[in-house]
Structure 1
Amino acid sequence: MMEYKGKYEICDLSKTKTYPLATRPSEVYLKDLINLNDIVNEPLKYDSEELESLVTSIVEARKNGKPVIVFSGAHAVKNGLSPIYNDLIKRGIITAFGSNGAFTIHDFELALAGKTSESIPNALSKGLFGFAEETGKYINNALIHGNKLKIGYGESIGRLMSGEPFPEKVDFPNREISVPYTAFKHDVPFCVHCAIGTDIYHMSKYFDGEAVGGCSGRDFLIFAHEITKLSKGGVCLLIGSAVVGVEAYLKAFSIAANIGKPPKNLITADFDMRGANISDAQNNRKDKPTYYFRDIKSIVVRVPRAFEGKGYYIKGDQRVTLPSLYKLIMQKIG
């Protein structure tokens, strides 16, 4: 339990009860992961001038040694899209990857147990939501050990899945489907940006906020360093992360500009499915809903405008738009 010496009472997480992950009903299984061959061989399901231009920018960026950075929310894992990220990392298309804590939870459970995503409405009233023993224990222990080593969150998970004892060795029979593991094996920074109290392993008796904050804080610095590599151009994608990913990008861009390494000719793209009027964000229309969509206002409009670039909004279900992005990239690179 975390040490506390303040004047208020705190919740004693040692009183919480857990159950084996293997016994938990789940909604997503290994069989639900997308098949890359199907993507390549099936007809293109989504296309637009914006997507075609974005793909050209991605391929040209990598041909010229410029970064392609992705920040993804957790639903990409739950939607079975991890194989796309893994293949683009292996092919050297993605040069750095950002995510939130939820992404690593679903990725971790698939790698360990072959299933993830519990039914919150069914579990919440019974006090069962978020209390699978292995998820809380192993992620927290990896971060506690990683914090002692002064390394980041992503590297801590990558080392754990690679077989290092953190503090005990854990077998991950499905680790090849893990994005943090794939990134670690291919020396691609996988940076996890956490907000304390937002992830289920924060509810665990193994939780150590100092470890989570320390490892995640180092990942933010790694992420910011990757952003400084955009000084000669590159591409940044935001996929299904409407708040955390936006703000991590925004602060990293500001750091890069502050230390004299601002991005130039930057291409950005936001993948989401909400209806939006981009001109409302462009014209600072505070009386319109789109102005308050952080992902559009910052990633599609403000950031490219600040750094002489161009921003795209790829509107649609990521189960359609992301495979289409992958298929078009594969066509471009042969």
Structure 2
Amino acid sequence: MPTRRKRPTVASAPSAIIRPIDASRLKTYPLQRRHSKVQVSNFAKVWTKGRSFARFLDSLPDILAVKTLREVAQAIATAHRNGRPVIVGMGAHVVKVGLGPLLVDLMKRGIVTALAMNGAVIIHDFELAFMGHTSEEVDAEIDSGRFGMAEETGRMLNEAITLGLKEGQGLGESLGSYIHRRKQQFPHRVTSLLATGFRLGLPVTVHVAVGTDIIHMHPSADGAAIGAGSLLDFRRLAAVVSEMEGGVYLNLGSAVILPEVFLKAVSLGRNLGHPLTNITTVNMDFLTHYRPMTNVVRRPTQKGGKGYALTGHHEIMVPLLAAAVIEELSGR
């Protein structure tokens, strides 16, 4: 039989087959004619002790996230000046890291005109208003079955939901009126977003998935009341979103529930004849997640408007944004 010829290995191929490229005829142009994304004028300014917060904002480098922060602050200020909605959708971490007073202040100023929250927010909002503390150690309690079993939290929140539904109230209004009207039981109610919304007449809506919140484990939980109250709140939020042309929606720390709810509210509004072609959407969280980036930042604004993402810790970024908005509105 004839023997097979061995294929030459790459190493045995003559080096002359691949010749180095000749760069001698490379075309260049003067650096002055090239667009550059970074200028010396964009750089940060050295801080001097005793300056104002406005000077601090001006001292930040006008690059990347700082540009986004400024544009978002300007969008919120513009919406406020024009009487357009500024809606905050939020998860519980925002409350747990102590930012309730800042949101309450923005509500009092008329800057935040509506709040939408997931079911976990109402737990912490209630406990802070009731006792002045919140956030249990889940790792320490889950093995014993004590996690989520605080008696007053389960009993009183479920009671508020059931009573409110009988009055035609959604979850947010039910809980806000419950806290606001029981002044002796809630000595720290000034921190409550729910009570503040009720007192100011601002829409505060609560959007739940049954089984996700500790109060659903308690025997006083009424699934029909929880579901009906949340559905009513969704329709109220959709009414607010449908009128947010020229307004702003901020998603603060909700990775799943609020991005999904907001997208459906946008679709419902457009289906009923509200174009929503000039809206600003913002996602703020310490991690980048699929749903907020897709359902808040990108999809709702692909018809018109602009979406932004600001990534960072809430306890730093939210105070920065709130202060930047106030400074923007001060006309400095």
Question: Could you report, residue by residue, the CA deviation over 1:296-324 in whole angstroms, capped at 9, with x for unpaired residues?
Answer: 01211111113x11000101111111010
Q: Which residue of 1 aligns with 2:263?
A: 250
Query: What's the CA shift for 1:42?
Result: 11
Q: Which residue of 2 aligns with 1:328?
A: 324
| Counterpart AA for 2:320 | S
- Following superposition of structure 1 onto structure 2, how do residues 139-178 of structure 1 map, counting pairs within 5 Å? 139-163=157-181, 171-178=185-192
Runs of 4+ in 1 over 3 A off after TM superposition: 39-47
Identical-residue share of aligned pairs (%): 41
- Following superposition of structure 1 onto structure 2, how do residues 171-186 of structure 1 map, counting pairs within 5 Å? 171-186=185-200
Q: Which residue of 1 aligns with 2:272?
A: 259
Q: Please give the root-mean-square deviation of Cα atoms over the aligned residues, in Å.
A: 1.9
Query: What's the CA shift for 1:262?
Result: 2.4
Q: Which residue of 2 aligns with 1:216?
A: 230
Query: What's the CA shift for 1:41?
Result: 9.1
Query: What's the CA shift for 1:264?
Result: 2.3
Q: Which residue of 1 aligns with 2:206?
A: 192
3-state secondary structure, aligned to 1:233: coil
Question: Could you report, residue by residue, the CA deviation over 1:89-144 in whole angstroms, capped at 9, with x for unpaired residues?
Answer: 00000111100110010010000011100000100111100000000000000011
Decide whether aligned partners of structure 1 residues 170 and 136 sit closer, same or farther in structure 2, where only a CA change above 3 A counts. Answer: farther
Q: Which residue of 1 aligns with 2:300?
A: 303
| Counterpart AA for 2:327 | Q
Q: Which residue of 2 aligns with 1:58?
A: 76
Give 1 or 2 for the bigger CA radius of gyration: 2
Query: What's the CA shift for 1:214?
Result: 1.1
Query: What's the CA shift for 1:180?
Result: 0.7
- TM-score normalised over the length of structure 2: 0.79
Q: Unpaired runs of 5+ in structure 1?
A: 1-38, 276-289
3-state secondary structure, aligned to 2:181: coil
Whether the 8 Å contact between 1:160 and 1:170 is mirrored in structure 2 is no
Decide whether aligned partners of structure 1 residues 216 and 108 sit closer, same or farther in structure 2, where only a CA change above 3 A counts. Answer: same
Counterpart among 149, 160, 173 of residue 131 in structure 1: 149
Counterpart among 245, 249, 267 of residue 236 in structure 1: 249
Query: What's the CA shift for 1:217?
Result: 1.0
Q: Which residue of 1 aligns with 2:114?
A: 96
Whether the 8 Å contact between 1:73 and 1:240 is mirrored in structure 2 is yes
Whether the 8 Å contact between 2:164 and 2:171 is mirrored in structure 1 is yes
Give the whole-Å Cα distance in 2 for the aligned partners of 1:151 and 1:135: 20
Query: What's the CA shift for 1:43?
Result: 5.1
- Give the structure, 1 or 2, with the largest relative contact order (CA under 8 Å, sep 6 or more): 1
Whether the 8 Å contact between 2:54 and 2:327 is mirrored in structure 1 is no
- Aligned positions, number: 274
Question: Could you report, residue by residue, the CA deviation over 1:140-178 in whole angstroms, capped at 9, with x for unpaired residues?
Answer: 0001111112211111111111226xxxx9710100100
Q: Which residue of 2 aligns with 1:314?
A: 310
Decide whether aligned partners of structure 1 residues 185 and 312 sit closer, same or farther in structure 2, where only a CA change above 3 A counts. Answer: same
- Is 1:269 equivalent to 2:266 in the alignment? no
Query: What's the CA shift for 1:273?
Result: 2.1
3-state secondary structure, aligned to 1:162: helix
Give the whole-Å Cα distance in 2 for the aligned partners of 1:144 and 1:186: 23
| Counterpart AA for 2:96 | K
Whether the 8 Å contact between 2:118 and 2:208 is mirrored in structure 1 is yes
Q: Which residue of 2 aligns with 1:20?
A: none
Decide whether aligned partners of structure 1 residues 150 and 40 sit closer, same or farther in structure 2, where only a CA change above 3 A counts. Answer: farther
Whether the 8 Å contact between 1:161 and 1:170 is mirrored in structure 2 is no
Whether the 8 Å contact between 2:118 and 2:258 is mirrored in structure 1 is yes
Whether the 8 Å contact between 2:262 and 2:295 is mirrored in structure 1 is no
Whether the 8 Å contact between 1:243 and 1:294 is mirrored in structure 2 is yes
- TM-score normalised over the length of structure 1: 0.79
Query: What's the CA shift for 1:274?
Result: 2.3
Query: What's the CA shift for 1:40?
Result: 6.0
Give the whole-Å Cα distance in 2 for the aligned partners of 1:216 and 1:223: 10
Q: Which residue of 2 aligns with 1:27?
A: none
Decide whether aligned partners of structure 1 residues 41 and 48 sit closer, same or farther in structure 2, where only a CA change above 3 A counts. Answer: closer
Q: Unpaired runs of 5+ in structure 2?
A: 1-51
Whether the 8 Å contact between 2:161 and 2:229 is mirrored in structure 1 is yes
Counterpart among 119, 127, 148 of residue 109 in structure 1: 127
Give the whole-Å Cα distance in 2 for the aligned partners of 1:52 and 1:182: 28
